[in-house]
Amino acid sequence: MDLVVATKNKKKLKEIEELLADFNLKILSLADFPRAPKIIEDGKTFDQNAIKKAATIAMYTGKLTMGEDSGLEVKALKNKPGVYSSRYSGEGATDKKNNLKLLRDLKNIPLKKRNARYRCSIAIADKHKLIAVVNGSCNGLIGFRSKGSAGFGYDPLFIIPKYSKTFAELGEKIKHTMSHRAKAIKKAKRVMARVLRK
């Protein structure tokens, strides 16, 4: 069975493919549908953006579709960057620029007050309806400098207290057991298992 993941982000797609590896699915992405409608991520919440992606692309392709939106919330910054995580540093934002802006915004704030959480919303839809929305989150701290080379986004700054290492240092194997996306995908799998049984 086909599953369209409504993203153009290659790193995110790779991570989702790895997390769904035990499912018998042919995974497609927006790269396979170059004429698909452009999705403006103007939702105020991760759920709203995920639903918009899933519903829009499911209607267009007629296939089971996963819409995903995720980001970082930093308590000291009143939960920013939130839904603006991927474009936090403005036009032409990159992971590196976003990380540098985050470090600037948290300047002089001690580690114990640098609490943060990654959040992920996943919406599953087919051409007829929205089937489910599931969520996952992962708590951590924001470090003072980038460490590690694995992962993407804010992973080089996101410290898991249990290991005293960033996601970028811990690597995919450990990240896939505890990340916000791993937790949301685990719930999404239960939903998709029901759909696939029909």
From the list 69, 95, 105, 155, the catalytic residue is 69
Cα dihedral sign, 165-168-171-174 = positive
In terms of C-beta density within 10 A (0-12 exposed, 13-18 middle, 19 or more buried), how is residue 26 classed? exposed
Residue 51 pLDDT: 98
Q: Are 168 and 142 in contact (CB under 8 A)?
A: no
Peptide bond into 161 cis (omega under 30): no
| pLDDT computed for residue 1 by the predictor | 87
Q: Please give the pLDDT value at position 24.
A: 86
| Residue 47 known to be catalytic | no
The pLDDT score that the predictor gives to residue 73 is: 98
How many residues belong to the chain?
198
pLDDT, residue 102, reads 98
Provide the CATH topology of domain 2-197: Maf protein (3.90.950)
- Alpha helices for the chain (secondary structure H): 10-19, 46-61, 95-105, 167-170, 172-178, 180-197
And the tokens for 181? 């996306």
**Residue 142, SS3 per DSSP:** strand
pLDDT along the chain (198 residues), means of 10: 94 94 93 95 97 98 97 98 97 96 97 97 97 98 97 97 97 94 96 85
